[in-house]
Structure 1
Amino acid sequence: MSVRRILAKTINTDLEYEAIGIDLAKNCVSVALLTTDGEVVCIDRLDYSELEKSAQVLCPTTFAMEPCTEMNYLVQKLEAWGHRCLVIGGKNVQNYVENHYSGQKTDLNDAQALAFLAQDTQLRTIKAKDMEQQKYASLTTLREQYIKQYRQTIVSLKGICQAWGLNISKGISGKA
């Protein structure tokens, strides 16, 4: 059975959807909406603000997306508005696109694959971070970056000192 794609510019908030697949990008998203009637409505590029406005007024539904940097933030917002969110691994999406779209990897095909994969109850999903986990991960990443920069600076200073005949002992806490 071939599924017909209907191209649209915005999300019709009057309809109910079984699943919504969103392929996230930096400034916009590609969206595939599966209606309860079995139609597939696709939106090539939709701004994040338009997606959020529509999601606030939509009946609770399932949103599916791949893991990326904005994913945790978006999942928190969507779940606060009463939606269910699934984060589906990229390998599953890639396999679906290869099997159903002849390997044509486009943003719309990814979004449509995510929408259909959201209906699979046996699929393993990825758990999104909550606010506390996200704060901890951000602080840990910053700390690791500062330590790396600190060590690079010390190594550079040691090299400069050695070039001028000043021997610095091993270890970061050597003499200045």
Structure 2
Amino acid sequence: MSTIQTIGVDLAKNVFSIHGVDAYGKCVLRKTVKRNKMLDTFANLPPCVIGMEACSGAHYWARELTKLGHSPKIMAAKFVIPYRQNEKNDANDAEAICEAVSRPKTRFVSIKDEEQQAVLCLHRIRHSLIKNRTATINQLRGLLSEFGVIVPKGRYSLQKAVPDILEDANNGIPFLARELLNDLIANIKKLNEEILRYDRKIYQLSKEMKQASKLLAVPGVGEHTATAIIATVNDGKQFASSRQFAAWIGLVPKQYSTGGQTNLGHITKRGEKHIRTLLVHGARAVIAQCKTKTDSTSLWLQRLVERRGYKRAAVALAAKNARIIWALLTTENEYKANYVNQ
């Protein structure tokens, strides 16, 4: 049998499809293995490039295959779809993955270690709690409106006003409804405590992470943003340029150009949504404090807000910060507020 050069693996929970080709692209391996036989199968194969889609378990298998001497590469599913022929099934997916991993323009996801994945677990759980809290607040606000009680906008306004509303015996809210609404308030308080506990964990992690202090020096980058970026991209060297990093986050304009005419639209909003959200929120905080400052960034923001508006300025600063972050991660440089490129 010819020497296997490249393998595509269609990952699943229990059954995996494998497609391997030699240096000439000829199929020399096509089989299905169960989960408990996965590592034994690859232990008996010569070192080769192994392609996988980014999905649940991909980083775990990539780490295990690296220990066996292979070179695993993880890619987004969108890079695999153009190479799939015929109907969609596990075998055809594995063949498409095998083809996509050998293409020079395919971009790959950096393989995360256990600690990075643990930090991302923290961020995802915290984000889920925030979504649950928002949903509960909206439910509480909607239920109160059913009885003609309108609460001012904002989480803090609601939490301050609702206890007085429930104690008011003249607003016509039945006893059963008061009891149920009080349960929702208790649930919101519990979620507040859990979110605060996770915030403290993230704050502690930002002190322990090696490169977090460099990123925290950038205006608009806090503990949440720094830890999320380091856990997701590590050193950032998988991106060829700062613009590619900003494009991966989804902070560059969407382009629809033809006939030599350049047409730029809204930002693409592709890639890492969580990091993009954190960068934009951080940019908003900077803009809110820039009115009385005279440093170069604040003066630039003041002019930009006046010329293009608040929201565009926030996205522009987020994109600028993304490029600065990439430069800090890929070099030994520290952030300088009034840096001038010589």
Tell me if TM exceeds 0.5: yes
1:75 CA displacement: 1.1
3-state SS of the aligned residue for 2:40?
helix
3-state SS of the aligned residue for 1:69?
coil
Unpaired runs of 5+ in structure 2? 164-342
Aligned match of 2:137 in 154, 163, 171? 154
1:1-176 paired onto structure 2 within 5 Å:
16-35=3-22, 38-43=26-31, 45-97=32-84, 101=85, 103-120=86-103, 122-131=104-113, 132-164=115-147, 168-173=151-156, 174-175=159-160, 176=163
1:66 CA displacement: 1.6
Higher relative contact order (CA 8 A, sep 6+): 1
Structure 2 residue aligned with 1:6: none
Tell me how large the CA RMSD over aligned residues is: 2.8
- Cα pair distance change 1:172/1:88, threshold 3 Å: closer
Select the structure that is richer in helix: 2
Q: Distance in 1 between matches of 2:133 and 2:89?
A: 42
**Which segment is superposed worse, 128-137 or 78-87?**
128-137
Q: Distance in 2 between matches of 1:141 and 1:149?
A: 12
Structure 2 residue aligned with 1:7: none
3-state SS of the aligned residue for 1:87?
strand
Q: Distance in 2 between matches of 1:159 and 1:119?
A: 53
1:50 CA displacement: 1.0
- Cα pair distance change 1:36/1:138, threshold 3 Å: same
- Cα pair distance change 1:164/1:93, threshold 3 Å: closer
Runs of 4+ residues deviating >6 angstroms: none
Unpaired runs of 5+ in structure 1? 1-13
Superimposed CA distance per residue, residues 63-122 of structure 1 (whole angstroms, 9 cap, x where no aligned partner): 11122122122112211322101223434432222xxx4x333321221232244344x2
The amino acid of 1:105's aligned partner reads K
1:35 CA displacement: 4.8
The TM-score normalised by the length of structure 1 is 0.72
1:34 CA displacement: 2.5
Select the structure that is richer in strand: 1
Q: Distance in 2 between matches of 1:88 and 1:62?
A: 13
The answer (yes or no) to whether the contact 2:2–2:28 under 8 Å persists in 1 is: no
Superimposed CA distance per residue, residues 32-72 of structure 1 (whole angstroms, 9 cap, x where no aligned partner): 123579552211x3222211222344332221112212212
The TM-score normalised by the length of structure 2 is 0.40
Identity %: 27
The answer (yes or no) to whether the contact 2:14–2:34 under 8 Å persists in 1 is: yes
